Chain A
């Protein structure tokens, strides 16, 4: 007896109002409504959330770990984007 595949969904939970939805894991469900209900039962059994998003895993486009270095290279050589790059004399306040 073989088991038919049901789609995979990525689950994002907002822990409380004023915070981001955060990825918590994934779940199988036939459709979005069931995915939401299953995600509620699986990921918020102890008041972990006030809002849930579910997204079909197949709809997520991800950057490749193989190309990580070249993909993120543009940000690696710009230390002047950080406040610590700048030398400020001692005693200057509120800066």
Chain B
């Protein structure tokens, strides 16, 4: 088939809501868009271990510590599922990591905010993972098969993340006045950045139309943001905490909650690298990577030595 025929076949596949698989012909723009998006997503999971990892050694109980360890381990796992999906598009994991470390591939801006109190761990679980799930559930129907399959696994596991955050937030809210104030303070700081996680407003999101046409994106940024707001308002009431937006109110005509204006200048600043923790996050990631170099080298040397000695492994059964 020539390129025109391949394009026709690809368009027909997308139009019929079919799935694209790694060895299918695909337009270069589709491939590039997916690599950029999946790599960004993978990097977000990996960098996302840092804000919460900050609290593992200081979790207030063994129960909370075990939960947090499992959650941070899940984030590492999610990163690896996603790197695998991106690799099927022809970019190696090593190259993606190098691009992350060089600042040439992005991760979600949300992870550039600090976690100064234990309540931040709860707020991340409830709000940040809640926003992530809202974004990710439609991606389980993304037109690219490996990405959609990775998202199915991830969404199943994220559900625990959000619920543990909500439970922890509720426990703090119902605790001492100091604990309640700490929970409220965390919500005050995480609410607006969580809304920014859905990306720029629809009229300022140049890539959205193409991603929608390709079946990568199923709902617009503003639609998903609205869905998240509508989910959170009653949950905040159960928690006994206030979402820090005086304009938040039910709009019976729209059947949705109205919310205030998002500070997109802040979003742009964090995106440009001027958020509270941008430099720290990348420095920590680079350090972890270079600290692990000897392990990778030793494993490769041991594998080469065993192969030279003609070692065998157990056969499948």
Question: In whole angstroms, how far apart are the Cα atoms of A31 and B300 in the complex?
Answer: 8
Report B-chain residues with C-beta under 8 Å of the C-beta of A31.
299, 302-303, 306-307
Secondary structure type dominating chain B contacts: helix
Is A27 a contact of B98 with CB atoms below 8 Å?
no
Question: In whole angstroms, how far apart are the Cα atoms of A30 and B87 in the complex?
Answer: 17
Report A-chain residues with C-beta under 8 Å of the C-beta of B153.
25
Report A-chain residues with C-beta under 8 Å of the C-beta of B214.
none
**A-B CB pair tally, cutoff 8 Å:** 66
Question: In whole angstroms, how far apart are the Cα atoms of A40 and B34 in the complex?
Answer: 28
Which residues of chain B from 88 to 106 have any CB-CB distance to chain A below 8 Å in the complex? 92-94, 97-98, 101
Tell me, yes or no, whether A65 is within 8 Å of chain B by CB.
yes
Is B313 a contact of A6 with CB atoms below 8 Å?
no
Report B-chain residues with C-beta under 8 Å of the C-beta of A45.
70, 73-74, 77
Is B80 a contact of A65 with CB atoms below 8 Å?
no
Question: In whole angstroms, how far apart are the Cα atoms of A33 and B299 in the complex?
Answer: 10
Report B-chain residues with C-beta under 8 Å of the C-beta of A46.
157
Report A-chain residues with C-beta under 8 Å of the C-beta of B1.
66
**B95 to chain A: closest residue by CB:** A3
Q: How far is the CB of B123 from chain A (nearest CB, A)?
A: 24
Report A-chain residues with C-beta under 8 Å of the C-beta of B73.
45
Tell me, yes or no, whether B16 is within 8 Å of chain A by CB.
no
Q: How far is the CB of A11 from chain B (nearest CB, A)?
A: 9
Tell me, yes or no, whether B290 is within 8 Å of chain A by CB.
yes
Question: In whole angstroms, how far apart are the Cα atoms of A3 and B97 in the complex?
Answer: 8
Question: In whole angstroms, how far apart are the Cα atoms of A66 and B157 in the complex?
Answer: 35
Tell me, yes or no, whether A34 is within 8 Å of chain B by CB.
yes
Q: How far is the CB of A39 from chain B (nearest CB, A)?
A: 10
Report B-chain residues with C-beta under 8 Å of the C-beta of A1.
98, 101, 286, 289-290
Which residues of chain A from 24 to 38 have any CB-CB distance to chain B below 8 Å in the complex? 25-34
Partner of A3, one of B81, B289, B299: B289
Chain B residues close to A by CB (< 8 Å): 1, 21, 23-25, 70, 73-74, 77, 80-81, 84, 87, 92-94, 97-98, 101, 149-150, 153, 157, 286, 289-290, 296-297, 299-300, 302-303, 306-307, 313, 316
List 28 interface pairs A-B (beta carbons < 8 Å), by A numbering: A1-B98, A1-B286, A3-B94, A4-B296, A4-B297, A5-B92, A25-B149, A25-B153, A27-B80, A27-B84, A28-B93, A30-B299, A30-B300, A31-B299, A31-B303, A31-B306, A32-B313, A34-B303, A42-B80, A42-B81, A45-B70, A45-B74, A53-B316, A62-B23, A65-B23, A65-B24, A66-B1, A66-B25
